[in-house]
Amino acid sequence: MKKHLYLIRHGETLFNQRKKIQGWCDSPLTKKGIEQAQAAALLIKDINFDHYYSSTSERCCDTLEIITNHQVPYVRLKQLKERNFGYLEACDEDLVKNNSKGHFFDDVYTMFGGEYYHEVQERMVNILTSIMNKEDHHTVLAVSHGASSFAFLSSFVDVNTIVAQGGIPNCAIVHITYEDGKFALQEIIKPNI
């Protein structure tokens, strides 16, 4: 049976706006971030979700609560958290840039106590597979983060495809199907805000 996962990145935060590295540290949604969550809610209003999940980060919980109008119970999971950037958390983004091949500097982040890319990918794949393998989970909404969602998607999609579609901006809705133990990207829907 084909199941559906809607993986949503949280709305814009103060650190996103100020170009700060934001992993396990947190910052509040901006006015724009709240509006993005409201716009995302309109895009998925006709979908009947049977289960809801969020990263334990406040920015994700707030995004989910706005999208659902504070009307549904949901489960918070640490495994859906953003990549841990170690001591580089809250530093300016321009301190660490991606290399020309678009890969993250694993050695830099881990030298400062952060996670390896493959560790983020593994925990995201494990938790989302566990969620989608549950008998009564047919249409699931999960709110997570940009880098961790990208790591998850790169386990079954060519990263160039994701980049060519504009990446995963704030409140992007990534529609993924799950069937016979395999994930497949259907589309990335972006609120027009």
What are 137-193's pLDDT values in tens digits? 999 999 999 999 999 999 999 988 888 888 999 999 999 999 999 999 999 999 988
Amino acid at 102: G
Mean pLDDT of 49-55: 98
How many Cβ atoms from other residues are within 10 Å of residue 192's Cβ? 6
103 is catalytic: no
Segment among 31-45, 57-71, 94-108 with least mean pLDDT? 94-108
Domain chopping of the chain, boundaries: 3-189
- The closest of 5, 70, 59, 36 to 171, measured between CA atoms, is 36
Give the Å distances, CA to CA, from 135 to 8, 76, 114, 138.
22, 19, 35, 8
DSSP single-letter state for residue 11: P
Give me the residues paired with residue 141 across strands.
6, 52
* From 4, 10, 51, 137, active-site residue: 10
pLDDT at position 148 is: 97
What are 13-41's pLDDT values in tens digits? 999 999 999 999 999 999 999 999 999 99
CATH superfamily of 3-189: Phosphoglycerate mutase-like (3.40.50.1240)
Cβ contacts of 143 within 8 Å, gap of 6 or more = 7, 8, 9, 10, 53, 54, 55, 60, 61, 63, 64, 67, 80
Mean pLDDT of 94-110: 64
Q: Buried (b) or exposed (e) across 138-169, using 16+ Cβ within 10 A? A: bebbbbbbbbbbbbbbeeebeeeebeeeeebe
pLDDT at position 101 is: 43
10 is catalytic: yes
Mean pLDDT of 75-82: 98
At 19, list the tokens: 């170009």
3-class secondary structure, 16: helix
* From 4, 12, 51, 82, active-site residue: 82
